[in-house]
Structure 1
Amino acid sequence: MTGDKWFRDGALHFALGIEDTFVPQGGPGERPIDEYELTEHYRFFSDDLRLAAESGAGMLRWGIPWHRVNPEPGCFDWSWLDAVFARFAELELRPVVDLLHYGTPVWLDRQFANPDYPQRVAEYGVAVAERYADTVTDYTPVNEPMIHALFSGQYAYWPPYLSGAPGLVTMSTQLARGFQLTQRGIAEVLGDRATFVHVDAGMRYDGHESRAAEIEHLREQVWLVEDLATGRGGPEHPLARFLAENGATDDVLEQLRRGAVQPDVVGVNYYPRHSTELLLEGQRHGGGFADPRPVRDDGTAGLEELLRAAAARYGAPVALTETCVTGSVEERAEWLDDSVACIDRLRAEGVDVVAYTWWPLFDMYEWTWRHSENPRADHQLTMGLYSLEETSDGLTRVPTPLVDRFRRHARGIHPTFEGHA
């Protein structure tokens, strides 16, 4: 299952994901968030991986809890991870490994703003690659780096609580450098067997003509960390002045250009009900959970635009690496059908879309849980192929009709619900 360049075989690969947000730092009014604890994946991982395989997925986007695997500087605890990757191999389920899904270990002072962050995250990534070189070859060095940059930089919502444009630029350059060092280190370990899937949030912006300049800035900003990591942050970049005015020195940008890494696959995460934000006349919103902008559901049109843009910008195969809607089973089924049909149309037109990922396999808990005192059930998001139900034995994974529906799509069959063609 590992080592071959699956994205070159001409097929559309169907994948699932397990939500793996980790922000282990707590504080007054803030609970550490670990989605594997919330969904009890640490306990049920063996069955969870089986469910993914039985649902028809050949691949699973799955993240490593850095804060648990690397509990102290230079110290690694592989016990749980060994069992997980052994289970992947047993099931012949291909892991596409998120090395970083938002949080650093608690021992890393100032988190992403720590000057040693790029070296520390690369050290961790290389250690993982060395230990699992025989079984894991597909890596996402950092999931959704632009969301990292916004939430930990501009919005001061997550550690290290930077704010404004300078915070965004600090986060963007730090993440990009860590991204580069991690990918380069893993490539040294795995050589040509390594596959790198770069993944970011498919954010779209529209709105009133009075805010056209702001909208255009945000549309370029969507790609900023990926542009920096891939060496595109030169003087000709549309945001070059913005970077320089907010702390990115010539030396930093030149280092990023020299250290450029490239994706084998560019992944786009797209949620039709949330991915298109609106900037309206006279309204000011900071973005994020604390001050969200209004949104518009642009359906498959938004998905198509983002995938075409990613393919054109980076000249690599593209993948839909996360998608779903939060809603009823019928609403989710409709989006599953419509989004798969969109991918099929793009492929028929020659766009090199190589994977489709429904996210997540089972329900998850909204990030607002971190800033709440309410029980996890109050934050459950109905997104998965499986629902989560509280029982005396823990969270039970309950299949919905979406399981068979996804399986049939993965097999090339186009199912329908009654009344939905």
Structure 2
Amino acid sequence: MTGSPNWHRDGGLHFAVGVEDTFVPQAGPGERPIDEYELTEHYERWHADLGLAVEAGAELVRWGVPWHRIQPEPGRWDWDWLDGVMDRYAELSLRPIVDLMHYGTPLWLPRQFANPDYPKLVAEYSARVAERYAHLGVHDYTPVNEPMIHALFSGEYAYWPPYLSGPQGLSTMVGQLARGFVLAQRAMRDVLGDRGVFVHVDAGMRYVGDVDAPEHREHAARLKDQVFLVEDLVTGRVDAAHPLVPHLRANGWNDADLAWFAEAPVLPDVMGVNYYPRHSTEVFEAGVFHGGGFRDPRPTRDDGVAGLTELIREAHTRYGAPVMLTETCVTGSVKERIDWLDESVAALHDLRASGVDVVGYTWWPLFDMYEWTYRHSEQPREAHRLTMGLWRLEERATGLERVRTDIVDRFRHYAIGG
């Protein structure tokens, strides 16, 4: 792999691209499975797709393993496809930041994340991946992508399996995801030792507007603290003084649960923040009630680089680790995307100049992706395509072609030192 194993400590700003890797393979009545690699034809086009990352000048690629594919049955592993991908990374001297859990469990796991065996199973899977590819220099891992978003969709909104709802459901999902997170990172650290670089990633969320209105004050305060809840748990920051301890206790947590996290924290080598300027800032309105999520969304506000700067500073101060912008883009025209690329890269350089240890920038995704609404729709995939990528996806008789846009040249300009 390219570069130093300690790329996050060498003083540089490293540029990455991401390949959208949401996996929700379960499907009930009125639902379709989401497998972004299948939707984008990445399973067939991975060899050329990784070449696109090189063409864009990226050094790093945030890229996920489809657990449901490589472990199709309990105790049975199918490595053939993944072996080819990892060999391709080595051939290209690209460094993957391997995303191990991006929303979906294997089909054979009853009750999915609510299964009591989930934490130990995800730890076993993570350790096996780390062990299998350590000889190729694959040492950079994200144990769980966006665990709080994950907990909300699966545990409060009942939108994804295991379809839990309300405060109790959210509490259950937070606990299961956080335990799996801790056990997975510990298991991988045992395999990789000091070579391991763990990039913790969660969605940067901001809540603005009438947050102090009497009808919103308590809810808005909880949401602001909740943004950090899983990361606070796994890093051992949830003690008796943590503002969400009463909420956890009211929804099934006891002293032993809290002590388990406090006694053996796992820390980020890099703290990742995902920020989308048109979606990451939600607005409370006096007299208007929204539950949040896809079914009852609050309005959003584009706070541009001001919101980005706030969230990066907050993550750096809170966790004391180098910070990486692990996802960003705007869904819009090529010009709008180039404008945001220019503005967001400049913002990171300003943060670095002010002393904030920002080590990475990620454009997400490398090529267009398909919106999660595909799952509950009967429309063809093209109706759900999001214009987010450096490359456009275009339906042709031969399948989904990757069509280069002018954003590639601008990204490359920054990535190779512009």
TM-score normalized by the length of structure 1: 0.97
Cα RMSD for the two superposed structures: 0.9
Indicate yes or no: 2:239 matched with 1:234.
Answer: yes
Cα distance between partner residues in 2 of 1:189 and 1:411: 33
- Aligned pair partner of 1:244 in 249, 259, 284: 249
Are the equivalent residues in 2 in contact too, given 1:207–1:215 (CA < 8 A)?
Answer: no
* Whole-Å separation in 2 of the counterparts to 1:75 and 1:185: 19
Residue identity in the other structure for 1:101: H
Match of 2:145 among 143, 146, 165: 143
Distance 1:193 1:409 in 2: 28
Are residue 129 (structure 1) and residue 130 (structure 2) matched? yes
Structure 1 CA distance, aligned partners of 2:14 and 2:314? Answer: 21
Describe the SS at the equivalent of 1:206: strand
Task: Determine helix, strand or coil for the equivalent of 2:271.
Answer: strand
Corresponding residue for residue 419 of structure 1: none
Partner of residue 156, structure 1: 158
TM-score by length of 2: 0.98
Deviations along 1:196-224, one digit per CA (max 9) or x if unpaired, are 00000001111212123322211110000
Aligned-partner residue type, residue 200 of structure 1: D
For 1:270 and 1:160, locate their aligned partners in 2 and report how far apart those are by CA, in whole Å.
26
State the one-letter code of the partner of 1:353: V
Q: Over residues 319-346 of structure 1, what are the superposed CA-to-partner deviations in whole Å (9 max), with x where a residue is unaligned?
A: 0000000000000010000000000000
Tell me what 2:6 maps to: 5
The alpha-carbon deviation at position 290 of structure 1 amounts to: 1.1
Question: Which residue of the partner structure matches residue 183 of structure 1?
Answer: 185
Distance 1:75 1:226 in 2: 31
Identify which of 399, 407, 418 aligns with 1:402: 407
Paired residues, number = 413
Are 1:348 and 2:353 matched, yes or no? yes
Tell me the residue number matched to 2:78.
77
Matched, 1:276 2:281: yes
Specify the alignment match of 1:329 in structure 2. Answer: 334
Out of 376-385 and 208-217, give the one that drifted further.
208-217
SS in 2 for 1:133: helix
Question: Does residue 1:90 correspond to 2:91, yes or no?
Answer: yes
1:50 aligns with 2:51: yes
Q: After alignment, is 204-213 or 214-223 more displaced?
A: 204-213
Pair 1:41-2:42 in alignment: yes
Classify the secondary structure of the residue corresponding to 1:226: helix
How many Å separate the matches in 2 of 1:344 and 1:217? 32
Alignment of 1:250-269 (within 5 A): 250-269=255-274
Q: Secondary structure at the match of 1:357?
A: strand
Amino acid at match of 1:78: W
Runs (5+) with no aligned partner, structure 2: none
Shift of 1:236: 1.2
SS in 1 for 2:220: helix
Paired residue for 2:196?
Answer: 194
Structure 1 residue runs of 5 or longer lacking an equivalent are: 414-421
Which residue number corresponds to residue 224 of structure 1? Answer: 229
Distance in 1 (alpha carbons) for counterparts of 2:7 and 2:184:
22
User: Which residue is 1:385 aligned to?
Assistant: 390
Structure 2 match to 1:116: 117
**CA distance in 2: counterparts of 1:72 and 1:180, whole angstroms:** 24
Quote the residue 1:373 is aligned against. 378
TM superposition shift of 1:149: 0.4
SS in 2 for 1:62: strand
* Partner residue in 2 for 1:309: 314
Letter in 2 for 1:411: I
Distance 1:215 1:300 in 2: 22
| Paired amino acid for 1:234 | D
The separation in 1 between residues aligned to 2:158 and 2:5, in whole angstroms, is 41
Please give the alpha-carbon distance, in whole angstroms, between the structure 2 residues aligned to 1:215 and 1:272.
20
SS in 2 for 1:296: coil
Q: Could you list the per-position Cα deviations for residues 168-202 of structure 1 after superposition, in whole angstroms to 9, with x for gaps in the alignment?
A: 11111111100000000000001110000000000
- Name the counterpart of 1:103: 104
Partners of 1:53 and 1:270 in 2: CA distance: 24
Equivalent residue number for residue 299 of structure 2:
294
**In the aligned structure 2, how far is the partner of 1:365 from the partner of 1:28?**
21
The amino acid across from 2:107 in the alignment is V
Give distance in 2, aligned partners of 1:269 and 1:157.
21
In 1, the alpha carbon distance for the partners of 2:61 and 2:5 equals: 16
Deviations 1:256-284 (A, max 9, x none): 11231000000000000000011111111
SS state of the match for residue 135, structure 2?
coil
Q: Distance in 2 between matches of 1:207 and 1:71?
A: 47
Q: State the partner residue of 2:63.
A: 62
Q: Using the TM superposition, give the Cα deviation of residue 98 of structure 1 relative to its aligned residue in structure 2, in angstroms.
A: 0.2
**1:418 alignment counterpart:** none
